């Protein structure tokens, strides 16, 4: 489904699921008026960006859901790296990063028996359209590349990569997905501050575990497993 404007493509996907739309259905909007990010944050969604939601029905144990976020991040990174040769990386739990700034994000939500994979990429987005408060943390592919990309081409390749990596997921090749994600991640080994509803933890991001959780070695030497479902706020040196 192609829309000039949506409130949130994830909400459109929920409407389609309620109307029994099938797995693989994709909602794409040219802009969003109420784009949503993690932790109830607003996702600024002007013309030029990619805003899409994919409906999946993987019938899996809930413990594997975080892998779907890593899977989507891998598909985004493969696409953008392949098309631009930019140094595209990922940050736990759901960020797409270029030049230490956020260029995209994933918002996975469950609804009825489905999973909605919401992907936002600041593609040809003019950075002046972001609020001043976000300017230091946000970038776009166009800004980093110094040129626009054909949005339709990027979406087509991204959906092809999603097909490939989702096939790996359905084959239960979670370890391969995690390893690929880890290879794209620059935050491992560096100092991080994690805030959850239950407190603040500081230490080194050591690895990502088999459930997609961040393994943190605290400055006190203790190993903690942090799950993104615990509404975590993650701060690294840059973003
Ligand atoms: C984040 O980094 O916090 C996640 C951002 C996810 C944004 C995408 S844009 C398409 C889909 N629709 C939404 O409202 N959000 C996701």
- According to DSSP, the β-strands at 199-208 and 233-235 are unpaired
Rounded to two decimals, the pTM is 0.96
| Whole-number Å distance between alpha carbons of 194 and 236 | 9
| Whole-number Å distance between alpha carbons of 42 and 58 | 28
Query: From the CB of 140, is ligand 1 less than 6 Å away?
Result: no
Residue with tokens 């144990």: 61
Contact (Cβ atoms closer than 8 angstroms) between residue 51 and residue 29: yes
| Top mutation candidate among 51, 117, 233 for ligand 1, by most atoms within 8 Å of CB | 51
User: Which atom of ligand 1 lies at the shortest distance from residue 37's CA?
Assistant: 3
Closest C-alpha residue for ligand 1 atom 16: 118
3 state DSSP class of 113: coil
Contact (Cβ atoms closer than 8 angstroms) between residue 179 and residue 67: no
Query: From the CB of 51, is ligand 1 less than 6 Å away?
Result: yes
Please list the helix, strand and coil fractions of the chain in percent, rounded to the nearest 5, in that order.
35, 35, 35
Per-residue pLDDT of the chain (239 residues; tens, 9 = 90+): 999 999 999 999 999 999 999 999 999 999 999 999 999 999 999 999 999 999 999 999 999 999 999 999 999 999 999 999 999 999 999 999 999 999 999 999 999 999 999 999 999 999 999 999 998 999 999 999 999 999 999 999 999 999 999 999 999 999 999 999 999 999 999 999 999 888 899 999 999 999 999 999 999 999 999 998 777 788 886 66
Contact (Cβ atoms closer than 8 angstroms) between residue 103 and residue 140: yes
């Amino acid at each position: 489904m192609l829309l000039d404007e949506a409130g949130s493509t994830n909400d459109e996907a929920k409407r389609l699921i309620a109307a029994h739309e099938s797995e693989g259905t994709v909602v794409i909007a040219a802009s969003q008026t109420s784009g949503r990010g993690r932790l109830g944050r607003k996702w600024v969604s002007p013309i030029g960006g990619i805003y899409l939601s994919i409906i999946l029905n993987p019938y899996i144990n809930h413990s594997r859901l975080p892998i779907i976020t890593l899977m989507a991040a891998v598909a985004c990174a493969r696409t953008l790296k392949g098309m631009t040769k930019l140094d595209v990386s990922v940050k736990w739990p759901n960020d797409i990063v270029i030049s230490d700034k956020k260029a995209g994000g994933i918002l996975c939500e469950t609804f009825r028996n489905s999973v909605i994979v919401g992907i936002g990429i600041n593609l040809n987005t003019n950075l002046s359209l972001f609020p001043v408060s976000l300017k230091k943390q946000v970038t776009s592919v166009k800004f980093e590349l110094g040129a626009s990309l054909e949005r339709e081409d990027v979406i087509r390749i991204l959906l092809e990569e999603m097909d490939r990596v989702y096939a790996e997921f359905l084959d239960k090749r979670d370890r391969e997905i995690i390893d690929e994600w880890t290879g794209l991640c620059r935050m491992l080994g560096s100092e991080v501050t994690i805030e959850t509803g239950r407190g603040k933890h500081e230490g080194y991001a050591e690895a990502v575990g088999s459930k997609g959780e961040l393994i943190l070695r605290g400055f006190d030497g203790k190993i903690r497993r942090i799950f993104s479902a615990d509404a975590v706020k993650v701060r690294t040196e840059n973003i």
